[in-house]
Structure 1
Amino acid sequence: MDGEIQIQKAYESILSNDFEGAIEWFEKAIEAEPDNASYHYKLSFTYARNIKISKALQHAETASTLEPDNETYLYHLTTLKAKALVAEADKYLQQTVEQFQTAVALLKQAAALDPLSVEAQVGLAAAYAGIDDYSSALVAVKEALRLNPQHELAAAMLKQYRKRLR
């Protein structure tokens, strides 16, 4: 039995804002066709929308393994890895200097994986500020504002860090 019927049901669930239902239908589609990379990608995307990054990563990796030449799947996997690093780095913010330094390292990796990640740049700015490196914090927050000029937190951080450097 192919999984197209389950995929259709999953999309119907999404249109009804029933994301948990959509996840169940995507999982049923994968049970029907476990080697269908598209199904894993769709489930991964749904998990990511619901902030279930570890499960999203698992299915994104499966999709990329099944179709290693698919750039869409690879890009999705890369951005999820960046999100996971940002989430991990957040645990280290507002801690000891050593933990801020760990956050800086993780957020640099996240920014390298996903150069369009505003969250990585904002987190990096906060981590640099945590170790009193306001010059580097300014560079990161300016990059965040370059990526999203309307980012209110980044704009506030820019003002704060400029004052610190005076």
Structure 2
Amino acid sequence: MDGEEQIKKAYESILMHDFEQAVEWFGQAIAMNPHNAAFHYKLSITYARSNKLNKAIEHARQAVQMDGRETTYQLHLQNLQAKAFILKAERHLTENEAQLWLAVSLLKRAIELDSLCLEAYLLLGHGYAMLKEYDQAISAIHTLLELDPQHEVGRRLMLEYQQRLKNKNNDSNE
């Protein structure tokens, strides 16, 4: 028994939108073949789709440990870790300056892990704007718009932050 039958049943469960059952089937496959990196990777994806980020990261990490040459596993783990940094950063986007700088730091780390993550650039721009660091806010939003030129919120924020920077510069010149 190598777990392949359980994997098929897990995919059937996914097609029926029964992700909890899919997790059970993937778990059974892993119990039968615990050193199969692909099984851990597939379970990680299912956990991620079910918003169980910690478990998704745990199994993605196991897949990478078992087969570190598989770039798909590495990229998946990095994307999950970036998402974790974003979630943590969101909790620090407050009026407190120290918390805002922590959020900015976490978002930069998320971008290092996943340089295509639009949400990270959007939140980074927002964090910088809250700190009144409009040059950096504009830079973050500019990168977002390079990745997605039609991003409505990004386009609106770009105009807003450019106006704020202009007002800030005018105020400092008076």
Which residues in structure 2 correspond to 1:81-100 (within 5 Å)? 81-100=81-100
Larger Cα-atom Rg: 2
User: In the TM superposition, what is the alpha-carbon distance from 1:156 to its structure 2 partner?
Assistant: 2.0
User: RMSD in angstroms over aligned alpha carbons?
Assistant: 1.1
Partner in structure 1 of residue 17 of structure 2? 17
Q: What is the Cα deviation at residue 18 of structure 1?
A: 1.3
Q: Which letter does structure 2 place at the counterpart of 1:78?
A: Q
Q: Report the AA paired with residue 8 of structure 2.
A: Q
1:68 counterpart residue number: 68
Do residues 57 (structure 1) and 60 (structure 2) align? no
TM-score, normalization: structure 1? 0.96
Displacement of 1:93 in angstroms is 0.7
- Alignment TM-score, normalising by the size of structure 2: 0.91
Q: Distance in 1 between matches of 2:50 and 2:155?
A: 27
After superposition, the C-alpha distances for 1:70-125 in whole angstroms (9 at most, x for unaligned) are: 11111111111111111110110123010000001111111111111111111111
Aligned letter for 1:142? H
Corresponding residue for 1:113?
Answer: 113
Instruction: Kindly indicate whether residue 33 of structure 2 is the aligned counterpart of residue 33 of structure 1.
Output: yes
| Equivalent position of 2:172 in the other structure | none
CA distance in 2, matches of 1:157, 1:24: 44
Structure 1 residues 146-155 or 65-74, which shifts more?
Answer: 146-155
Q: Give the corresponding residue for 2:153.
A: 153
Identity rate of aligned residues, in percent?
A: 46
Q: Confirm whether residue 80 of structure 1 aligns to residue 84 of structure 2.
A: no
Report the CA distance between 1:50 and its aligned residue. Answer: 1.8
Unaligned runs of 5+ residues in structure 2 are 167-174
Deviates more, 1:152-161 or 1:138-147: 152-161
